[in-house]
Structure 1
Amino acid sequence: MGLTDTKLRAIKPATTAKKYGDGEGLHLLVPAAPRDGRFWKLAYRFGGKQKTLSLGEYPYVSLADAREKRTEAKRLLAQGIDPSQQKKLDKIAQRHAHATTFNAVADDFLAKVGKEGKADATMTKKRWLLDLARPDLGKRPISEIKAAEILVPLRKVESQGNYETARRLRSTISQVFRHAVATARAEYDPTTNLRGALTAPTVTHRAALTEREGFAGLLRAVWGYEGAPETKAALSLMAYLYPRPGELRLAEWEEFDLEAAIWTIPAPRTKMRREHRKPLPPQAVKILRDQKDLTGDLPYVFPSRLTRKPISENTLNGALRRLGFTTNEMTSHGFRASASSLLNESGKWSPDAIEAELAHIGADQVRRAYHRAAYWGERVQMAQWWADEIDAMRAETR
């Protein structure tokens, strides 16, 4: 007589291993204490040898499930197939299938890029972009994905008006497919068939005054600003130091060593997610000391008068609008392009020192380390020269 659920529930651990048969080689093995568990086994003969096939643990594999597995094993035996060998082949196929899904290749690609030393910001952006594609492509074998399938997540992004994000998503998906080709998991990159299929984004550049005469006029306007003194101070520091606007707006007093004339921007606030030190010329130190008299009792250098939170980028851009500069002429971010252009045109400073001061990423890890160390002395001199040059431009006659 075979087993029943009632009999199975009544089985207790024993001091010696016991088998409880259900017929046709199927039995439940209860190991000797202290080992726990109750395991389904199927005894059978293949090729003249006695063999045993594991079918899972009770109660996670029920009696009905175990009998179904027995029936399937008997079917394989009737076809001259060893059930144990077939089970091994099925596991290998399952692992292989998982390793060749879009998700698996994407994860492998991200690991590879991470080992190459890409910036945290770059890695975060790639992960975010690929997460947009995973719901539609993730579980599909990458070698079977066609261009029309890739178009599905791209159209979803486009439908929200994010044309530039859709373009970058297509490019990132293409990188995953090229990695799949290189690792013999796909034969070609189907995204090449999507060229021209996406809506082209409108390219807009941050406006900046990069000619000396125009920039000099801007400086005179900034120094003549009659609005809030903290806004004037922030715009003046944007001219002297040309950081990213968010780096200055969110600056806290603890980041500044005014005695050593160094501003250390913490890694979480920089675009490249690494700490960036900037030398402070005396002109910038004076502005900061004056500002500290106003806000030194607060954590932020430039708090809003109403909320005590940092001023917004609209505050700086709004001030530029009130000074008469349109969005097509100048933005707060444009101070960086102005400084970069004029510093490079001067011919006095090495391009790498200028790039290091701008906190732009170098070609590789070695170059980035070299920027931080070897160019510091040159950057200190350049900061002083640039501050003096700004003062000279402000004093120029119109």
Structure 2
Amino acid sequence: MPKLATPLTDVQVRNAKPKDKPYKLSDGGGMYLEVMPSGTRTWRMNFVQASGKKNRLTFGQYPETSLLEAREKRTAAKKLLNSGIDPAEARDNDKAARSENANNTFEKLAREWHTNKIPTWRGSTAKDTLRRLEIDIFPQIGSMPIASITHQQMIAALRKVEARGAVEIAHRLKATCARIFSYANQQGIENRNPAQDLKDVLKPVKAGHFAAISTDELPAFLAAMNQNDARLFKPTRIALRLMMLLFVRTSELITTPWSEIDLEKGEWIIPWQRMKRGKLTINPDKTNHHVCLSRQALELLRELHTLTGGGVYLFPNQRDHEKPMSNGAILMALRRMGYQNKMTGHGFRALAMSTIKEQLGYRHEVVDRQLAHAQKDKIASAYDRAIFLEERKKMMQDWADYIDQIAANKIVPPKFTQHAA
């Protein structure tokens, strides 16, 4: 039977002096204090691996590691052994895990996540997302191990963005960071995801809409448009009127090639690849969009063809005719009319939606299809666009006639047939 060691006392450990040769002071259970001639005193523990091979653990040096702390480490090692776990292997694995966690910084994981998302994003989205992280987040928490980032550190980084008045950007960054933390967790790199639950910490984003005039303001707007014709390039003047008549998206109008327009048939069909929903990387909507030209819109297009029909685009850039009109041209024209911050290109869509429903009596679904809004049900989407086409053609002509009545100061309730709600 092996001889049981008498446990050490604090006094014995404190008074252990160096000798000419190393010696040991046993505390039992395989643990001892090794005293070196240099005066270094180290806690160690001998144990036998499952293979029968002897091994040794080191618990730290005295007095940095006290007798009590060394005994706690011995107890933990014994528990591992009793569970069939080699404490030396567990120690090495833990050390490797800590090293890996230290290398898994927020910036490293963020760039991995960003690279994985690039195939599903537009180029501009990928560029803007990384740029925002590089400007606002990486300088604050980028170099930190992702597992160590606290809620307070995440909040501090976002509040710096918020402090300069960029409240909406702060909220977008919060959502982006939450996805990055989630990505790390999915990779097996555990973290608290401190960006996920910050619902009430940041200032709320004020709800906003694209500036748009109301139906009551339409007469004054049309008058201002006529009064400012001389100040605008003729193509720009026509672009404004087509925005009013057709209420397509600004980007869809200014990038339209003449190859999409059939002046003889009076048709304009935008290929799905040019539509907002068609540009999605995942599940794009492959439905071509019928713009439905009114008589007035067709007249404007024929007039425009005499000006720009020899080129590629309906609205070529003034400086480089091989490129389309600038996105800001419509806003610049509205500013010259005195409607800065009162009306936008998107505002024509909001104006048409509300006025056509309220004044002309058309159903929401019909106007919605003409606006090319996304539908949740793809089958219903294709069906609706087909079945509403004739109704949409009539609606667009009624809308153009209604605008003519307003322009002619005939401000009376429209006499068009009211459509069933």
1:367 and 1:180 mapped to 2: Cα distance? 38
Distance 2:330 2:122 in 1: 28
Equivalent residue number for residue 356 of structure 1: 369
Q: One-letter code of the match for 2:211?
A: A
Matches of residues 373-388 of structure 1 in structure 2 within 5 Å?
373-388=386-401
Whole-Å Cα distance in 2 between the matches of residues 272 and 169 of structure 1? Answer: 26
Contact 2:266 2:298 in 1 (8 A): no
Q: Which one has a bigger Cα radius of gyration?
A: 2
Quote the residue 1:248 is aligned against.
Answer: 253
User: After superposition, where does 1:100-179 map in structure 2 within 5 Å?
Assistant: 131=133, 133=137, 144-151=148-155, 153-155=157-159, 157-158=161-162, 162-174=166-178
Q: Deviations over 1:168-219 (max 9, x none)?
A: 2223434666898999966675553473445x666654321222x3213322
Q: Distance in 2 between matches of 1:292 and 1:336?
A: 24
The question of 1:321 aligning with 2:335 is answered yes
Deviations 1:13-33 (A, max 9, x none): xxxxxxxxxxxxxxxxxxxxx
**More deviation in 310-319 or 126-135?**
126-135
Q: Give the structure 1 partner of residue 269 of structure 2.
A: 263
Match for residue 289 of structure 1 among 302, 312, 319: 302
Instruction: Tell me what 1:214 maps to.
Output: 217
Distance 1:143 1:368, change over 3 A: farther
User: What's the TM-score, normalizing by structure 1?
Assistant: 0.60
- What TM-score results when the alignment is normalised by the length of structure 2? 0.57
* CA distance 1:179–1:389, change in 2 (3 Å): farther
- RMSD, aligned α-carbons: 4.8
Letter in 2 for 1:376: L
1:336 and 2:349 matched:
yes
Secondary structure of the residue aligned to 1:286 is: helix
Q: Structure 2 counterpart of 1:318, which letter? A: M
Q: Deviations over 1:37-70 (max 9, x none)?
A: xxxxxxxx97279xxxxxxxxxxxxxxxxxxxxx
Partner of 1:299: 312
Residue in structure 2 matching 1:389, options 383, 402, 407: 402
List runs of 5+ in structure 1 lacking aligned partners: 1-44, 50-78
What is the DSSP-based 3-state SS (H/G/I as helix, E as strand, rest coil) of the residue aligned with 2:197? helix
Change (3 A) 1:120 1:310: closer
Shift of 1:273: 2.3
Partner secondary structure for residue 270 of structure 2: strand
Q: What CA distance in whole angstroms lies between the structure 1 residues aligned with 2:398 and 2:103? A: 59
* CA deviation map 1:223-243 (0-9, x unaligned): 452332212111110111112
Residues 190 and 88 (structure 1), Cα distance of their counterparts in 2 relative to 1, 3 Å cut: closer
Q: Distance in 1 between matches of 2:106 and 2:132?
A: 13
Matched, 1:233 2:233: no
Total equivalences in the alignment: 318
Does the Cα contact within 8 Å between 1:121 and 1:273 map onto a contact in 2? no
Q: Distance in 2 between matches of 1:321 and 1:269?
A: 27
1:337 offset after TM fit, Å? 1.2
Report Cα offsets for 1:118-163 as digits up to 9, x if no partner: 9969985996588555776678676643222323553564577533
Tell me, yes or no, if the aligned pair for 1:250 and 1:302 is still in contact at 8 Å. yes
Opposite residue 206 of structure 1, the aligned amino acid is: F
CA deviations over 1:96-121 (Å, ceiling 9, x no partner): 99999897699889989x9xxx9969
One-letter code aligned to 1:319 = A
Contact 1:223 1:232 in 2 (8 A): no
Decide whether the 8 Å contact of 1:181 with 1:189 is kept in 2.
Answer: no
The CA distance in 2 between the partners of 1:130 and 1:206, in whole Å, is 24
Q: 1:353 to 1:149 in 2, by over 3 A?
A: farther
Secondary structure at 1:246 match in 2: helix
2:107 touches 2:143 (CA, 8 Å); kept in 1? yes
Match of 1:279, SS state, is coil
Q: Supply the distance in 1 between the matched residues of 2:336 and 2:125 (Cα, whole angstroms).
A: 39
Q: For 2:410 and 2:259, how far apart are their aligned partners in 1?
A: 39
Match of 2:414 in 1: none
- The answer to whether the 8 A contact 1:163-1:201 is kept is yes
User: Given the superposition, is the C-alpha separation of residues 365 and 160 from structure 1 closer, same or farther in structure 2, using an over 3 Å criterion?
Assistant: farther
- When residues 351 and 305 of structure 1 are mapped into structure 2, their CA distance, relative to the original with a 3 A threshold, is same
Identity rate, percent: 28
Whether contact under 8 Å (1:252, 1:299) holds in the other structure is yes
Determine the structure 1 residue equivalent to 2:326. Answer: 312
- Equivalent AA in structure 2 for residue 354 of structure 1: V
Q: Distance in 2 between matches of 1:130 and 1:328?
A: 26
1:263 is paired with a residue whose SS is strand
Would the alpha carbon gap of residues 141 and 304 (structure 1) be closer, same or farther in structure 2, given more than 3 Å must change? closer
Alpha-carbon distance change, 92 to 351 in structure 1, aligned in 2, over 3 angstroms? farther
1:288 is paired with a residue whose SS is helix
